[in-house]
Amino acid sequence: MKICLAFSSGGHFTEMQRVMKAFEGHDIFYATTKARSTEVLQNTYYLKNTGGASNLLLFFYMIFISIQSLKIIIKERPNLIISTGADVTIPICFIGRLFRGKVIFIESICRIQDLSPSGKIVYPIANLFLVQWQNLSKKYSKAKYWGSVL
């Protein structure tokens, strides 16, 4: 099984590190933003970070990231995309789903009352949407609570 682990650097990467070992033995590649912490990963595609961009600039960045994501998905053809967010991982999830990949989204532990912006966008297309607070699984019918990652 080919698996794409998609995440931004920082806390999203920290949360993904907690579940990475579960996929050892599978054909894995990463889609993330470039940072000191993510440079140690092998078989990695670096997506352009959109942090601090204006709305118009963000729009063009997202088009660029979508093109990057399309190329990655066409080349790698993952069966499964697992994402902890954030923004740069949205196109990977959508394009992967269009290519019949399954999408698992793990919402951040810091989201206690509501979903993150990226979680809200990916929620409708996710095959499995995991939250780390039980009350969110009651608020969002598709969300599942299996405990916390941290």
- pLDDT at position 56, please? 65
- pLDDT at position 48, please? 80
Residue 47 placed within a domain: yes
- What is the overall mean pLDDT for the chain? 91
Please state the rounded mean pLDDT for residues 121-141: 96
How many domains in the chain? 1
- pLDDT at position 31, please? 97
Q: What are the tens digits of pLDDT across the range 33-82?
A: 999 999 999 999 999 876 655 566 666 777 888 899 999 999 999 999 99
Q: What are the tens digits of pLDDT across the range 1-10?
A: 999 999 999 9
Residues 78 and 72: their CA atoms lie apart, in Å, by 9
Residue 4 placed within a domain: yes
Residue 13 placed within a domain: yes
Residue 48 placed within a domain: yes
Residue 5 placed within a domain: yes
- pLDDT at position 25, please? 93
Question: Residue 56 sits in which domain range?
Answer: 1-19+26-63
State the helix-helix crossing angle for 90-98 and 55-76, rounded to 10 degrees: 40
Residue 100 placed within a domain: no
Residue 30 placed within a domain: yes
Residues 32 and 25: their CA atoms lie apart, in Å, by 21
Full-model pTM: 0.91
Residue 132 placed within a domain: no
